[in-house]
A and B are shown apart, each in its own frame.
Chain A
Amino acid sequence: DIQMTQSPSSLSASVGDRVTITCRASQSISSYLNWYQQKPGKAPKLLIYAASSLQSGVPSRFSGSGSGTDFTLTISSLQPEDFATYYCQQSYSTLGYTFGQGTKLEIK
């Protein structure tokens, strides 16, 4: 199985800050990396697919980059509605899709 490791596990930041979350795969996954946002009590929402493509309707302050084993999600200027938990997910291995453990973004 491909393991996905996110860092940090939690992060405190302020409105207006630039924030970066990292995701590392245990083997190369090309660009088969997706990012989701989840708010408490809600289903996850797709933000970024194929490492860097912005899902329709997602604000442009969200961006993704990387390929191979190392990926990043960046929020350029945090808004109050961005405080949530973020998950990366690899879709390279159809034998089993795996998610990172999540990064909880909290208000400082």
Chain B
Amino acid sequence: QVQLVESGGGLVKPGGSLRLSCAASGFTFSDYYMSWIRQAPGKGLEWVSYISSSSSYTNYADSVKGRFTISRDNAKNSLYLQMNSLRAEDTAVYYCARGYYGDYVNYFDYWGQGTLVTVSS
């Protein structure tokens, strides 16, 4: 069965860095786009970034552009999010999600359990 397991969250000071990982299993990882989506405490969902199956395409929300970098290692079935220059407003649970892209359809069909990032002094 499809599994996505995030790790790497924790407490970091403003201006600091953190690298999140997402280990995928149960499907052919290299066939799928992947995304990071976050949720601040008590708030709604915010898409953060996506990466294409071969890493050819990436895109970012304006709120993280220039500070976050998404990457993947298809040989290790792993997705990453390098987060630099962290701000208090980046505090959130970060989910990795698999993106399904078909004819006229595009959605997140599997999600990990999330990892909490807290930015505070």
Contact = CB atoms under 8 A, between A and B. Distances in A.
Contacts of A65: none
B59 A95 contact: yes
Given A31-B104, A43-B95, A49-B105, A99 B111 contact: no
A11 to B, nearest CB: 16
B111 A44 contact: yes
A50 B62 CA distance: 25
A101 interface: yes
Contacts of A71: none
Interface string A17-58: 000000000000011101010100011111001100101000
B59 A96 contact: yes
A98 interface: yes
Chain B contact residues, majority secondary structure: strand
Given A95-B59, A99-B45, A32 B108 contact: no
Chain B: interface residue count, which band?
20 to 34
Interface in B104-119: 104-109, 111-114
Interface residues of A, number: 28
Contacts of B109: 46, 49, 55
B47 interface: yes
B61 interface: yes
Given A32-B106, A87-B45, A96 B111 contact: no
Interface string B27-42: 0000000010000000
Interface of B: 35, 44-47, 50, 59, 61-62, 95, 100, 104-109, 111-114
27 contacts: A1-B62, A32-B104, A32-B105, A32-B106, A36-B45, A42-B113, A43-B95, A43-B112, A44-B95, A46-B108, A46-B109, A49-B105, A49-B107, A49-B109, A50-B105, A55-B109, A87-B44, A87-B45, A89-B45, A94-B106, A96-B59, A96-B62, A97-B35, A97-B50, A98-B47, A99-B44, A100-B44
Interface of A: 1, 30-32, 34, 36, 38, 42-46, 49-50, 53, 55, 87, 89, 91, 94-102
